[in-house]
Amino acid sequence: MRNIKLTIEYDGTDFYGWQVQIKSQRTVQAEIEKALKKIFKKHVTLFGSGRTDSGVHALGQAANFHAATKLPIATIQTALNANLPKDIAVVDIEEVGPRFHARFSVKSKTYRYTILNRPARCALQRRFCFFYPYPLNLRSMRAEARALVGRHDFKSFQTANPSRDEKATTVRTVRGVEITKKGDFVHIDIEADGFLYKMVRNIVGTLLQVGNGKLPKGSMRRILSRKDRTVAPAPAKAHGLTLVEVKY
């Protein structure tokens, strides 16, 4: 039995998230498992590095599956891409050791939130960026973001979800937050050992309120210390978020 790791890119616009749903909504995992079934003529379970929510994209989602096959790795990749819809692509494939698990072997993940910060909306990139036409103080945003780095309880940035284990720890380690501007686009990159439900979008929603002057200096540290979701602003929209990389 071979253990095969995939690196996957997808446009999350028309998906009901990553994970297979009971009600047969269109999901990324379900589409890839359909393609695997066409190749191997039986159901193959795909293990992802974690869930992405409805509307969230990926440049480097990771997943693995087991298969008793002699097909060359390159042939499997070609066959997958031939059977997948156009909004999913397997961009890399490799055989890994038997102990590798896409979820449980993760060391860190990096998400990027992209904001189009100019008066005019965008036609070509509208699926992948959040349009925000108001001025943003990036210096203030960077200063507040520094409070996130390190090991903290991020309960204030976790949206409740009945389908997830709310008793699990809400402590995470954020390794870095970078806020950069390229042309009209502002990118917020966050690397952590793991993320809570809607954690990145809730953080970005707070940073936007800092950037527009509605939240004062020290707000991020205060919100973190409260451990209460109701004290943080509304989350940023899903379509601006992309899973960029998973490290092992």
Q: Which residue segments constitute the domains of the chain, with CATH numbers given?
A: 2-96 (3.30.70.580), 108-247 (3.30.70.660)
Can you tell me the mean pLDDT for 105-111?
Answer: 98
pLDDT tens digits, 169-223: 999 999 999 999 999 999 999 999 999 999 999 999 999 999 999 999 999 999 9
The residue written with tokens 């993760």 in the block is: 106
Q: In angstroms, rounded to a whole number, what is the distance separating the alpha carbons of residues 101 and 137?
A: 41
The residue written with tokens 């409805």 in the block is: 54
φ/ψ of 113, rounded to 5, equals -110, 130
Say what the pTM is: 0.95
Give Cα 3 distance to the centre of its chain: 24
Q: In angstroms, rounded to a whole number, what is the distance separating the alpha carbons of residues 37 and 41?
A: 5
Q: Among 48, 79, 44, 45, which Cα is nearest to 61's?
A: 48
Residue 166 has pLDDT above 70, yes or no: no
Q: In angstroms, rounded to a whole number, what is the distance separating the alpha carbons of residues 169 and 148?
A: 17
Active site (catalytic) residues: 53
Q: In angstroms, rounded to a whole number, what is the distance separating the alpha carbons of residues 37 and 175?
A: 38
Confidence at 242, pLDDT banded by 50, 70, 90: very high
